[in-house]
Each structure stands twice: as C-alpha cells, then as structure tokens.
Amino acid sequence: MSKDNKIDQELVRQLAVILNETDLTEIEVEHGDLHIRVARNISMTMAAPMAPAVAAAPVVHAAPSVADVPIVAESKGHAVKSPMVGTAYLAPEPGAEDYVKVGDTVTAGQTILIIEAMKHMNQISADRAGKVIEIFVESGQPVEYGEPLLTIE
C-alpha cells in the first residue's frame, strides 16, 4: 500500500509541475480506476480587482470563440476532444508530415495526433471513420481536457 501511495505522490508532483509550467489552475487525469485531480488556489480576490479591464477582456474574447467552435463543429460533424491535458503535436516528429490534414479521410483507430503529457507521448486516435473537416489545434499548442482537437464529418 505504501508503494502505491509513493507512485500516486510522484504522479501528483508531476501534475503540480504541469500546473505551474502552464499556469493552469486545475488538472485532472483518469486512467482505468485511477482518478487524480490536482488544483491550486490562486488568490482570486487580488487578481479580480487588479485585472478586470486588462485581463478580463482578452479572456472574454478568447472564451466565447473557443466555446463557439465546438458548437459549430458538432453541428457539422463529430468533434474529437482531448482526453487529457498536454501539448498537441500534429506530426510524429519535427519536420515530418502531419498525421492528418483537412480533407483527409480517416478510419476509426487511426492516429490523428500526439499529446505529450508528463514527457510521455500519447497517440490520439480517431474514434470514428470519416473526413477531417476542421483542425482546431496547431502543433506545439497546449490543450486541455475536453478541448476539441478536430472535427470528423
């Protein structure tokens, strides 16, 4: 039991490092029966009065455009969403051809991109067959859990 706790503690530490590196406030990981959520408390009372005019405007503009994209994507086709927090890569290595491009036809189970999380490359597969009609992420872009990656028609 103490060995399992040590493994969980290391995972929690790694998740905390990701939180600090990406300025996220929360990260959640699920793998089988394992479910870990790490969150940090940022003094929102100090940040809110200081930044409503400066920081709130960009966040308000960014949030609706991100929120609007999945709605449009779901009405046109099926949005493939990120199963984890990490960094998305469209190609297997720098300089290589992207796994998929807009207009490509994919099969269920085909690798469509990679998400790096905690120095581990996770292949993300298409969960259905169809034509890629939109790609929402760029190579090297941080992604969050549930964020739309691309749309399959």
What's this model's pTM, rounded to 2 decimal places?
0.51
d(CA 1, CA 26): 27
Query: What's 45-112 look like in SS3?
Result: HHHHHHCCCCCHHHHHHHHHHHHHHHHHHHHHCEEEECCCCEEEECCCCCCCCCCCCCCCEECCCCEE
- The values of phi and psi at residue 101, to 5°, are -130, 165
pLDDT tens across 19-71, in order?
Answer: 777 777 777 777 777 777 777 665 544 444 554 444 444 444 444 444 444 44
pLDDT tens across 67-113, in order?
Answer: 444 443 334 789 999 999 999 999 998 889 999 999 999 999 999 99
Q: Say which residue the tokens 């990679």 belong to.
A: 114
Domains of the chain by range and CATH?
Answer: 1-41 (no CATH), 43-152 (2.40.50.100)
Instruction: Tell me, rounded to whole angstroms, the distance of Cα 74 from its chain centroid.
Output: 17
Cβ partners under 8 Å of residue 63, min gap 6: none
How high is the pLDDT of residue 119?
87
How high is the pLDDT of residue 46?
47
